[in-house]
Structure 1
Amino acid sequence: MKNILFTLCILLLVGTSCQESFLDLAPKSTISPANFFKTSGDAVTAVNGCYKSLAVGGQYGSTFQVLMENRGDNFSDQDPSSGAGQNFQINRFSDNPGNTNLYNSWIAIYSSIFRCNTVLESIDPIIMDNTLKNRIKGEASFIRALNYFNLVRLWGAVPLVTKTVDPVSARDLKRDAVSAVYAQIEADLKFAAANLPATYPAADLGRVTQGAAKGLLGKVYLYQKKYNDAKTILDEVINSKVFSLLPKVEDVFSATVKYHAEILFAVRFAKGIAGQDHGFWYANTQVIGVDTTIQKAYTEAGDQRKTLVDAVRPTGNGNIMPRKFLDQPVNNAAGNDFPILRFADVLLIQAEALNEIGYNASTAAGTAFAHLNAVRKRAGIKELTGTDLPTQESFRAEIYKQRRLELPFECDRWFDLVRRGTAIAEIAANKKITIQPFRLIYGIPQQEIDIMNNPSTFGQNPGY
C-alpha cells in the first residue's frame, strides 16, 4: 500500500489526444494534480485515465482472468512451468500470499482507485458546466465502485481509501469491514446513476451510462442478498429499453462491432495500437485450457453457445483459446473488448432476485421465468415452464446453470460458486481438487503485510 501511494501521490498519469476513441490514450507526461486541473478538458482527460487503468495487465488486461476465472472450473491450467507456475498455482489452489498475480492486481486496483480519488477531489474548483462536472464525477465514482467490488470479492476486508493519502498517512490504513466497503460501493453507484446520461453520442461510446451504474448496483445488491433492492433497480434498467439481447449470441463477442445494445459496460481495447491492445486471454501454445466439464455442460441440442467454448487458434498464430475471445492478431496481439456487464447477465440477475423473493411459476412479462427464457431462447434452446422447474430450488439451480453456460470466461463463474456456497463441492466434482474454506478468498499480498507490519489492523486472511 505504501508503494502504491508513494508513487501516485507524486504523479498523476494523464493522457493526451484520442486516436480511435476517447479511451485511446497515449500517455505523454506526468504532472502534479494541483497544476493540472484547470479546465473542463483537463477533467475529461483525467477521467479518461481512470478508464485506462482498468485495461492494464494487473486488471482486465490479463491478471483478472487468472484470479477470477482460472480459479473456477471452466479452465484447467496444464502448464506448471511457465511463469514459475504462478498461474498454475492459482488454478490448482496451491497459491500463497507471495504469488505475483495477487500483488500485481492489488497494485493495479489501488492505482486505479487513486486516479478516481484524484479526479473526485480536484474537479470541484474548476469553473465548468455543472452537468458535465457531475457526469465526470459519476464516471470516476462508477470506476471506483467497480474497483472496490473486485477487491472485496477477491480479498474480503480491504483498506477503504476514498481520499488521496500521503505516504506517511498510508501507514495508518487498516482493513475495513466488508460491510463498510459494500456501503461505499453502493453510495458511489447511486451517485453515478443519478448523474450519468442514459446514452452518449458516438464519439463518447464506451463511457459509463446511467444504465451501467444501475446494472452494476443491482449485481452488488444481489451479492449481499438484498433481493428487493436488486429487483427495483434492475427493473429500471430493463424497462428503459436502452439495452437488449442481440439476436445471435456469437455477435455479442464480435471483435469488430464491439460496443452494441447488449453491452452495459466493457473495458475497451484497440488492436494494432501499442499500449491499447492485449495478449490473448486464456491462451496457451501447448495445451487446451478449456475444461472438459464446461464443454460437456451444454447438454441441450441446438445450444448456440457451445461453439463459443471450442478451443481454436487465430490465423497464423500458435495460441489455443476459447472461440468466445478469438481475435485475429496484429503484431501478435488482440484488441477485442472485455465485457464487464451485459444485458444477458442483467436478465439472469433479475430472474435470480425474483426467485429469491418468492418462487412464481408465471411466464408473463417481467417474471423470473420470462427473463430466464429470454436468455434460453436466444441461445436456441426451449423455453421452460413451472412444469419443468416446479420449485424455488429447481429454478435456482437452473439460473446458476444458465449463468455458467452464458457467461464462461467473463470472470463470473468463481464468484458465482462462492456466493452460492457450492465452490468446495463443485471444485471437488469438476476439478478433482479438495480445497479448504479459507481459499474462497485470496491471501493479502505478502508485500503489503510486510510493509504495514501491523497484525491488529492489517492482518493476513486466516489460513494463509
Structure 2
Amino acid sequence: MRKYKLYLPLLVLIFASCKKEFLDLNPISTIAPGQFFKTAGDAVTAVNGCYASLAQSSQYGATFEVLMEARADNFTDQDPSSNAGQNYQINRYSDNPGNTNFYNAWVGVYNSIFRCNTLLAAIDGISMDDALKNRIKGEARFIRALDYFNLVRLWGAVPLLTTVTDPVNAVNLKRDDVAAIYKQVEEDLVFAAANLPAAYTGTELGRVTNGAAKGLLGKVYLYQKKYAAAQTVLQDVINSKVFMLLPKVADVFSTTNKYNAEILFAVRYAKGIANQDHGFWYANSQTITVDTTLMKAYDDGDLRKPLSESVKPTGNANIMPRKFLDDPVNGNAGNDFPVLRFADVLLMQAEILNEQGYNPTGDAFTYLNMIRTRAGLTKPLTATDLPEQGSFRLEVYKQRRLELPFECDRWFDLVRTNRAVSEILANKKVTLPAFRLLYPLPQQEIDIMNNKVTFPQNPGYD
C-alpha cells in the first residue's frame, strides 16, 4: 500500500472541528467517509478541514516560504548546515530530488486535494439548503484550484485528480498536461466566483468570497497571458468596492487588524492555540538575511522599506522581516499569511492593461500610482517618466518586488516574466541553470511510480 499513500490517505478523513474561530486545526475524528457525511454541519466541518490543510507546515505554515521565496532573491541563506543544508541548497540552486522540502509540499498539497475531492464527491448526498451546498462546493473548489495552481507553478505537469482515486486505480496516475491542469483550475474558480458571497462577518470571516475567487482567477489568467480575460475579472474586483488599499501599508500586516479590507484571501492562524499558531516565518539564524539588493531598491522615503528590514522577535535570538513580526506566545506567532491582497490586484491590472497596449493617460498609470502613493512616493509617474510600454512594464515589476516581498510571489514573478536567470545573476551573483525554473519531483514519487513514460522526472534532475 505504500505505493499510493502519497495521494490517498486511504479510507479515512481527518477534518477539523469548529470552535470560536472557523479555522481549527485540531482533528476531532478519523472516520470513514461513508459514515461521516450526514448533515449540513458535517459538510461545514469537512470544508473547514480543507482550509486547515493550507495552514499546515507542509504548505503556508513553513515549506512554501522556502520553495516560493528562498528560491528567489529577496533573502540570502548563508547557513549550509541547518536542516541538513536543504533550505540552503534551494536558495543556492544545488538542490536534488531527495530534498525533503519537495516531498513534504507534494504530500501536503495532495492531501489538501484529497480532502476537497472527498467532500465534493459526498456533498450531493446530503439533504441540505442548496445555497449553502453550492457555497461549500465553491469553497472546496477554490482551495483545490489554489492547490493545483501551486503545484503547476512548482513542478509543471502533475497528476490531475478531481475524484477520489482508490489504490487500485492509482497505478494509472500520470503527469497530466499543464494546459489541462490550468483548464481545471479555471473551471473551479469560475464556479466558486458564481456561488460564493461577496463578504462574511464574525466567525465566518476568512472564508473564500467571490472577490477572492475572481482575484485568483485573474492571476491564473495572467500567468497564461490571457490578458483580456484577466482584465475583465480583475476589473470586477476593483469595481466591486469590497476591497481597498489601507491608508497605511504597515496596517495591512498588523496582528490586531487581521483580515482587513485589503485582504482578498489569507490562510488564517490563531496565536496561543495549539496547532493553530505557527513558527516565525523567515526567522532562523542570523545567517539568513534580507538581501541587500531588495533593501537598496527602496527609495529612502518608501514606507514599505521598514517592513522588509530585519528585526528580532521578543525573546528570540533570530532575525526576520518586520512584515511578519508578532509578539510570541509559547514561542510561536499567529499572523495570517496573505495569499492575495488588493495591492496585488491593482499591480496585476496595471500590468495587464499595459501588455494589451501602452496608454499614457489610461487606468494602468492610475493603478500603478495608487500603489506608489500609498507607499509614500508622492510624485505620480507620468508618460514623461515612463514613455513607452517597456519602461512601464519594468516599473510594474519593480513595484511588485517592493510591495510583495516574502508573500510567495517573487520567484513565480521572475519565472513567468522570463527574468529569473538574469535577475538571479544580477542580484545573487549566482548562475541559475534554466532547468531549475521547475523543481524536481520528489524522489520518493519517482521511485514509487517507477514509470519514465507516464511519470518522468523533470529534465536536468535525472
2:30 counterpart SS class:
strand
Tell whether the 8 Å contact from 2:13 to 2:30 is kept in structure 1 after alignment. Answer: yes
Tell whether the 8 Å contact from 2:74 to 2:406 is kept in structure 1 after alignment. Answer: yes
1:281 counterpart SS class:
coil
**1:139 maps to what in 2?**
139
Alignment of 1:458 onto 2:455:
yes
**2:361 maps to what in 1?**
362
Alignment of 1:171 onto 2:171:
yes
**1:253 maps to what in 2?**
253
* Structure-2-length-normalised TM-score: 0.98
**2:229 maps to what in 1?**
229
**1:391 maps to what in 2?**
388
Tell whether the 8 Å contact from 1:18 to 1:25 is kept in structure 2 after alignment. Answer: no
- Cα distance in 2 for residues equivalent to 1:312 and 1:191: 42
Moved more, 41-50 or 430-439: 430-439
Give how far 1:319 is off: 1.6
* Matched residue count: 458
Cα shift readout 1:343-389 (whole Å, capped 9, x = no counterpart): 000000000000001000005xxx10001011000000021111110
Letter in structure 2 aligned against 1:342: R
Give how far 1:288 is off: 4.2
**2:334 maps to what in 1?**
335
Tell whether the 8 Å contact from 2:17 to 2:48 is kept in structure 1 after alignment. Answer: no
Tell whether the 8 Å contact from 1:279 to 1:334 is kept in structure 2 after alignment. Answer: yes
* Structure-1-length-normalised TM-score: 0.98
Letter in structure 1 aligned against 2:423: E
- Cα distance in 1 for residues equivalent to 2:312 and 2:102: 29
Alignment of 1:2 onto 2:1:
no
2:333 counterpart SS class:
coil
Give how far 1:259 is off: 0.5
Tell whether the 8 Å contact from 2:18 to 2:48 is kept in structure 1 after alignment. Answer: no
Letter in structure 2 aligned against 1:51: Y
Letter in structure 2 aligned against 1:11: V
Cα shift readout 1:377-418 (whole Å, capped 9, x = no counterpart): 000002111111000000000000000000000000000110
Letter in structure 1 aligned against 2:281: W
Tell whether the 8 Å contact from 1:287 to 1:320 is kept in structure 2 after alignment. Answer: no
Cα shift readout 1:139-167 (whole Å, capped 9, x = no counterpart): 00000000000000000000000000111
State the Cα RMSD in Å. Answer: 0.9
- Cα distance in 2 for residues equivalent to 1:301 and 1:283: 25
Letter in structure 2 aligned against 1:305: R
Tell whether the 8 Å contact from 2:75 to 2:288 is kept in structure 1 after alignment. Answer: no
Tell whether the 8 Å contact from 1:244 to 1:261 is kept in structure 2 after alignment. Answer: yes
Aligned pairs for 1:190-339 (under 5 A) are: 190-298=190-298, 300-339=299-338
**2:64 maps to what in 1?**
64
- Cα distance in 2 for residues equivalent to 1:285 and 1:103: 24
Give how far 1:67 is off: 0.2
Alignment of 1:425 onto 2:427:
no
Runs in 1 of length 4+ with deviation above 6 angstroms? none
**2:367 maps to what in 1?**
371
Give how far 1:285 is off: 2.9
Cα shift readout 1:87-139 (whole Å, capped 9, x = no counterpart): 00000000011100000000000000000001110000111000000000000
- Cα distance in 2 for residues equivalent to 1:242 and 1:175: 39
Tell whether the 8 Å contact from 1:5 to 1:166 is kept in structure 2 after alignment. Answer: no
- In structure 2, stretches of 5+ residues that fail to align are none
Tell whether the 8 Å contact from 2:17 to 2:24 is kept in structure 1 after alignment. Answer: no
CA 1:288–1:451: 2 relative to 1, 3 Å? closer
- Cα distance in 1 for residues equivalent to 2:310 and 2:25: 32
Letter in structure 2 aligned against 1:145: A
**1:12 maps to what in 2?**
13
% same residue? 70
